[in-house]
Amino acid sequence: CILGTGHNMCFINSNGEAINTESGGFNSPEIPLTEYDEEFLNEIPKERSCLLEALVGGKNIAKLARVVINSLVEKGCVKQFDQITSEMMSASITDDLDTLDVWQNCALREVSKIIYCRAAHLIACELVAVFRYLGVTEGSYAVAFDGSVYEKVPYFRECLTKELGKLSG
CB 48 within 8 A of CB 41: yes
Q: At what angle do helices 58-74 and 102-134 cross, to 10 degrees?
A: 140
At 144, phi and psi to the nearest 5?
-100, 130
Write down the pLDDT at residue 157.
94
CA 59 to chain centre: 10
Residue 99 gets which letter from DSSP?
S
DSSP assignment letter at 150: H
Nearest Cα to 69, choosing from 55, 54, 84? 84
Condensed to tens digits (0 to 9), the pLDDT of residues 74-116 reads 999 999 998 898 889 988 998 777 778 888 989 999 999 999 9
Among 116, 129, 130, which Cα is nearest to 160's?
116
pTM score of the predicted model: 0.90
pLDDT of residue 66: 94
Q: Please enumerate in sequence order all residues whose Cβ is within 8 A of that of 21, keeping only pairs 6 or more positions apart, or say none.
A: 8, 9, 10, 11, 126, 130
Per residue of the chain (169 residues), give pLDDT as tens.
Answer: 999 988 999 999 889 999 998 876 677 667 888 999 999 988 887 766 788 888 898 888 999 999 999 999 999 999 999 889 888 998 899 877 777 888 898 999 999 999 999 999 999 999 998 988 888 877 777 889 999 999 999 999 999 999 998 987 7
What pLDDT score was predicted for residue 16? 92
| pLDDT reported for residue 141 | 75
